[in-house]
Amino acid sequence: MINFAAILMYHHIGDPPPGARLWGLYVSKMNFAFQMWYLKKAGFRVAGLREFIAEASRGKLEPFTVVLTFDDGFLDFYENAFPVLKKYSFPATVFSVTGQTGGISNWEDIDAAGRGRLMSEEQIGSVISGSRIEFEPHTQNHPKLSSLAPHEEEKEIDESIEAIRRMTGSDPVSFAAPYGDYGRTTLDILKKHGILCALTTENRAFDIRRDGLLAVPRIIVRRNNHPPGFIYKMRRVFSSGK
């Protein structure tokens, strides 16, 4: 029995701007296209996050399950990732910084990765209507939640959930905290909204024998995950969970 699922985490799809120190967050268009081709060709089962949640809740994962997630909601998802995902009819989840929809990212430490434009509401609507892509909350302004007072944290989460509900017409079921930074207060707020799944930045596979849905690890896909490295990464996930 295979006990692992690979929840992949992407940020940017494209090339980093000059001077960006966190260039590893930018997966090239060529590498991303290869990765999606490989998942299809090799027979991995690319599932939607909601499918994964339902299966994990029942305590049984389908073999070789891969879930695609993208943090922040950058425009380069719309320009570079969406066409590839649509080509293969792959589901994916985008965690959007809802308070900056259509604007330029301006959160803490963003200069290290390079400022970028986020998708507009119109573009988000276009993605939803033409694909198996879903949007979920990633706070309003991408703060470190542990640095906020309880009422500030609640406002960030509440407003982000409401924005997703308004833009998508659906109730959110999952949440990704910026920087993977969240605690008991965060979970209490999420439970109030009926959120079933909280995703972390812990870099490993989901192991159904020991992981719960309120602390789901994700495998970070970086710029240096060239084709042989990506193939090795995926094989290693389902053999050892790493």
Per-residue model confidence as pLDDT tens digits over 161-193: 999 999 999 999 999 999 999 999 999 999 999
Determine the average pLDDT of the residues in 5-30: 96
Is residue 1 predicted with pLDDT exceeding 70?
no
Is residue 2 predicted with pLDDT exceeding 80?
no
Per-residue model confidence as pLDDT tens digits over 64-84: 999 999 999 999 999 999 999
Per-residue model confidence as pLDDT tens digits over 213-222: 999 999 999 9
Determine the average pLDDT of the residues in 100-105: 97
Domains belonging to the chain, first-starting first, are: 4-135+201-240 (3.20.20.370)
pLDDT at 126: 96
pLDDT at 130: 81
Report the first-to-last Cα separation within the chain, whole angstroms: 17
Whole-structure pTM value:
0.97
Q: Are 29 and 13 in contact (CB under 8 A)?
A: yes
Task: Give me the torsion for CA of 30, 105, 181, 55, rounded to 10°.
Answer: -50
pLDDT at 186: 97
Per-residue model confidence as pLDDT tens digits over 143-157: 999 999 999 999 999
pLDDT at 241: 80
